[in-house]
Structure 1
Amino acid sequence: MKPTILDTDTPESFWDRYWSGMTRPSSGSPSAALERLIAGRPAGRAVDLGCGRGDDAIWLARNGWKVVAVDVSQAALDTVRRNAETAGVAERVTWLRHDLSKSLPDGPFDLVLSMFTHTPLEFDRAAMLRAAATLVAPGGLLLIAGHGSLAPWAWSDPEIQFPKAQDVADALALFDWNMIEIADHPRDARGPDGQVAQVLDSVTALERPFG
């Protein structure tokens, strides 16, 4: 069901209502791009921008990372805290509330995540991603994943055109960074009633050089 946007909504009130009304349990599984691209990298300090219920943050913590989980919604962060405590990794996860259009946590980080930070509200995602890049430590990874296409049950506008991975990379203009991956990956998505559809994930992964 598509969430209703009220005339009085702020990003915090909209997403608090969204996450408070979420009855389906958290998957507990990391994003496919994260699991694939972090393999073999040493654990360090990570930030998950727009963390939602914290599946990626908690997975990173289970794998030795110290993680700052960031979201505009306190309801989402409360769920992150509960899930981190249940998973036994609360000491490795810090949760902070930020409206990403206005502020970001202090870096640097060895891993900066922006996973599916799309919203039906007005939001300059490209500007946020450029700001996020400044948080990456030398040798660190900026990992961005976004919707390349939608499942039939998705509540976003069916006419929306999402940027492809190369579009994101071009907008960042980090031409001296090392390209790890710029690709649109097919993935099987599972809907709320168990239905399955193939969607595209647009993945942009860039590594900041030393020096």
Structure 2
Amino acid sequence: MTSLATRAIVNLLYKSPFNPKSSDGPDDAVRDLVEGPRALGPGRALDLGCGHGRHALYLARHGWDVTGVDLVRDAVDTARDRVAAAGATARLVQGDVTELDDLAVPGGQDLIIDAGCFHGLPARMRDRYVPGVTSRAKPGALLLMLALAQHPVLKGVREDEIRARFQGWEVVSAQSLAGREMLRYGTGSKLLRTAFEKGWFDPWRYLLRRKQGA
């Protein structure tokens, strides 16, 4: 179970000026997977750290069976309101992404999105995150992850750790998002914008594929 200290820190970060205010639309990489030249057909999707639901809503609008999970109740409430207002359907759960069994999150996922969740977890929670996510992914499923390599508060994660932890997955691509490109996915305080412009957080996007038979 998530400690009270961890819950308090996550809630403070969510409401702080250093938390990016996400755009309403999906990241380009998500849009490419859903609408690009090699688009996936609609299936089952899991949005980890779903925030106010921009990816969950986008996927639901494109025919996906979506489950979103976030620890912050305010974020989940906002996501539910947005999905309802759009006349869409998505299952949005307030809870810990490392406790998917307790949250009854279904398996057979075709696409898993983590747009800034894993990189903030302490090591003990990462130990639970990986098997929980892996057990819910179909063979051949994709995991799209946006992660910062460094942060003044969060733990951060680098490619070598991604490869070491996700043994049942193939790293299809690892792309640096340093510089102004990060500003396309949200806004925030002046200091945060400067940090993104200068690439201080060393942001990366990873695309992983669940190995067959692993």
Q: Same fold (TM over 0.5)?
A: yes
CA–CA distance in 2 between the matches of 1:70 and 1:204? Answer: 20
CA–CA distance in 1 between the matches of 2:48 and 2:14? Answer: 16
CA–CA distance in 2 between the matches of 1:76 and 1:167? Answer: 28
- What residue identity is the alignment partner of 1:204? Y
SS in 1 for 2:30: helix
Mean Cα deviation higher: 14-23 or 57-66 = 14-23
Retained in 1: the 8 A contact 2:43–2:64?
A: yes
Which has more helix, going by share of residues?
2
Gaps of 5+ in 1: 1-7, 151-155
SS in 2 for 1:80: helix
Quote the residue 2:98 is aligned against: 101
Name the CA shift for 1:108/1:201 in 2 (closer, same or farther; >3 Å). same
> How far off is 1:76 after superposition?
1.3
Quote the residue 1:165 is aligned against: 159
> How far off is 1:96 after superposition?
1.3
- What residue identity is the alignment partner of 2:175? A
CA–CA distance in 2 between the matches of 1:210 and 1:88? Answer: 36
Name the CA shift for 1:115/1:130 in 2 (closer, same or farther; >3 Å). farther
Instruction: Give the total of aligned pairs.
Output: 193
Quote the residue 2:77 is aligned against: 78
Retained in 1: the 8 A contact 2:148–2:203?
A: yes
- What residue identity is the alignment partner of 2:47? D
CA–CA distance in 2 between the matches of 1:198 and 1:82? Answer: 35
With normalisation by structure 1, the TM-score equals: 0.73
CA–CA distance in 2 between the matches of 1:208 and 1:24? Answer: 29
CA–CA distance in 2 between the matches of 1:34 and 1:208? Answer: 17
Does residue 175 of structure 2 align to residue 183 of structure 1? yes
Retained in 1: the 8 A contact 2:150–2:157?
A: no
Gaps of 5+ in 2: none
Name the CA shift for 1:122/1:75 in 2 (closer, same or farther; >3 Å). farther
Report 1:107-186 matches (<5 A). Answer: 107-117=107-117, 118-119=119-120, 124-149=125-150, 156-157=152-153, 162-174=156-168, 177-186=169-178
Quote the residue 1:57 is aligned against: 56
Retained in 2: the 8 A contact 1:142–1:205?
A: yes
Retained in 1: the 8 A contact 2:122–2:155?
A: no
Q: Which has the higher contact order (CA 8 A, sep 6+)?
A: 2
Retained in 2: the 8 A contact 1:101–1:123?
A: no
- Any idea what the Cα deviations from partners look like across 1:1-42, whole Å, max 9, x if unmatched? xxxxxxx94444444455467899652021343234443111
Retained in 2: the 8 A contact 1:44–1:110?
A: yes
> How far off is 1:121 after superposition?
6.6
Match of 1:35 among 18, 31, 37: 31
Name the CA shift for 1:86/1:18 in 2 (closer, same or farther; >3 Å). farther
CA–CA distance in 2 between the matches of 1:138 and 1:122? Answer: 26
- What residue identity is the alignment partner of 1:110? D
- Any idea what the Cα deviations from partners look like across 1:45-80, whole Å, max 9, x if unmatched? 101111111111112122221210111222211010
CA–CA distance in 2 between the matches of 1:120 and 1:178? Answer: 21
> How far off is 1:119 after superposition?
3.2
Percent identity between the aligned chains? 23
Name the CA shift for 1:168/1:122 in 2 (closer, same or farther; >3 Å). closer
- What residue identity is the alignment partner of 2:172? I
